[in-house]
Structure 1
Amino acid sequence: MNDLIRHRLETPRHATEWLEAGPADGRLMIFLDGLPGFSIIWRRQLDELAAAGWRCVAPDMRGYGGSSAPLTVAAYALAEMLSRCSCRARGPIRVDLLRCRASS
């Protein structure tokens, strides 16, 4: 089992907490839940994929856990939340989107 490290970033607009596991030089995998939720729901996936060499990050979504809870409903729109997900890199970035559906 990998150690999960909790981080927190605060700006004047918003606070976000997230869990991270895996090697710092591993390929980055970010777990964004389709329904707002807590980062800890990804615990098993974080452990397994970090053990396989991935650098895994799972944020507490807006309004949950240690992340701040905006008062307006509009702040929870998908476009608004995705506009806040950004990264800076020194080279090309490859993004693979995975969609998982629960079986009935």
Structure 2
Amino acid sequence: MGYIVKTLTRVCRAATGQSAKQAIDARVALQAQRLLAHTDEPVAVIARRLGLSERTNFGKFFARHCGTSPGDFRRGMLPGAPTANKTEPSASVSAPRTRVASSAT
């Protein structure tokens, strides 16, 4: 992108209310939920697809952002699983808000 971290974070925070890292992490967690819910790919493959080379790092990341392990999340999404445990993939992770900034000329 060609921006320094400080500038990117400032712009991202102004637009979404989140730092650049928080916004990126939220999107990665949302994509992880989608892949776990709608594919049969092993957790290790999903981790690599999302840029996390180690399954253990992915598990820690997922648990921190979604409140459960990837395996537990997937089991809760299976047909026949108790509905109290089922969540929509986007329910645990809030998507960044977008706001169009007007340019003063």
- In the superposition, the TM-score normalised over structure 1's length comes to 0.28
Of structures 1 and 2, the larger Rg is shown by 2
Identify the structure with the greater strand proportion.
Answer: 1
TM-score by length of 2: 0.28
